[in-house]
Amino acid sequence: MTAYEDLSPYVYEPADPSVTTLNVGWLGRASKFDTGPVDEDVRAALVVLAADHDVNVMRGMHDCELCDRESPIREPLNDRVVALGCSEIHVTADDGVVYAAPTLVIHYIDEHGYLPPQAFTDAVVATMRRLRLEAERGWQAAKERLPLGLEVWGTVTAKMSFGIVLQLDDVPDVVSVVDAISYRPRGDQDELPDAGARVRGVVVDHAEHNWQIKVRVGPAAW
Ligand SMILES: [Zn+2]
């Protein structure tokens, strides 16, 4: 992987020329870098950004030049695994400056004690705050579009022990769940349908703790 000094202008991939984009964490064999502890929240945010908001996904793999760990390095995130070394994390500071880091930055922090510049960690926090706000607005909008009692159609995307996950036709971005106990298409609890099945139900709850739209299929149990 090409090495760049921290906070040098980013040139690896074409970027918007009207935006200042700076390199962070492009470490090579000969790189000198600061070391020190990185805030656990920042590290956790980097894994989320690498998993769900990575950019410039390449065809090849970046290897760590500081050790002989084989790529891709796999990082657990809840029930998923994120492969590091094949894309970048871009975060935007409140002053508009963008910082571009390879996803391997997480490995450099974990295994090589790398301490990224403060401006970068500040931008990570600012970016997560903005994403959270955006998600919150999305949840508020979803609730308005899916009031309690509304009839909805959806497609089963997963069958789990607790119930089924639906992708609703009209609001596909929100997570919608039919609990097993609420799946009563013929008036009694029934075997859950498989992924791909079409389901019609009624919105019965907005679960605030995990931002899920709860749907019931069939008549109410009580
Ligand atoms: Zn390494």
| Same domain? 122 vs 155 | no
What DSSP string describes 82-135? EEESSSEEEEE-TTS-EEEEETTHHHHHHHH-B---HHHHHHHHHHHHHHHHHH
Closest CA to 46 of 10, 16, 87: 87
| Same domain? 165 vs 198 | yes
For residue 65, how far is its CA from the centre of ligand 1 (angstroms)? 6
Domain limits for position 128:
21-141
For residue 27, how far is its CA from the centre of ligand 1 (angstroms)? 10
pLDDT tens for 74-118 read 988 888 899 998 899 999 999 999 999 999 999 999 999 999 999
| Same domain? 163 vs 201 | yes
Q: Which of 141, 164, 195 is the last residue of a domain?
A: 141
| 85 CB burial (10 A radius; 0-12, 13-18, 19+) | buried
For residue 9, how far is its CA from the centre of ligand 1 (angstroms)? 24
| Same domain? 104 vs 182 | no
For residue 6, how far is its CA from the centre of ligand 1 (angstroms)? 17
Percent of the chain with pLDDT over 70: 98
Question: Is the pLDDT at 22 greater than 80, yes or no?
Answer: yes
For the domain that residue 180 is a member of, what is the CATH number?
2.40.50.140
Task: Report the pLDDT value the prediction gives residue 15, as an integer from 0 to 100.
Answer: 73
Q: Which of 141, 174, 198 is the last residue of a domain?
A: 141
| Same domain? 78 vs 35 | yes
For residue 186, how far is its CA from the centre of ligand 1 (angstroms)? 57
Residue 52's contacts (CB-CB under 8 Å, 6 or more residues apart) are none
| Same domain? 25 vs 74 | yes
Q: Which of 79, 108, 141 is the last residue of a domain?
A: 141
What does each C-alpha distance from 51 to 3, 74, 88 come to in angstroms? 23, 11, 10
Indicate if the alpha-carbon torsion angle 138, 100, 119, 75 is positive or negative: positive
What does each C-alpha distance from 126 to 45, 80, 98 come to in angstroms? 11, 25, 11
Question: Is the pLDDT at 12 greater than 80, yes or no?
Answer: no
Residue 120 inside a domain? The answer is yes
Coil, strand or helix at 144: helix
User: Could you tell me the pTM of the whole model?
Assistant: 0.76
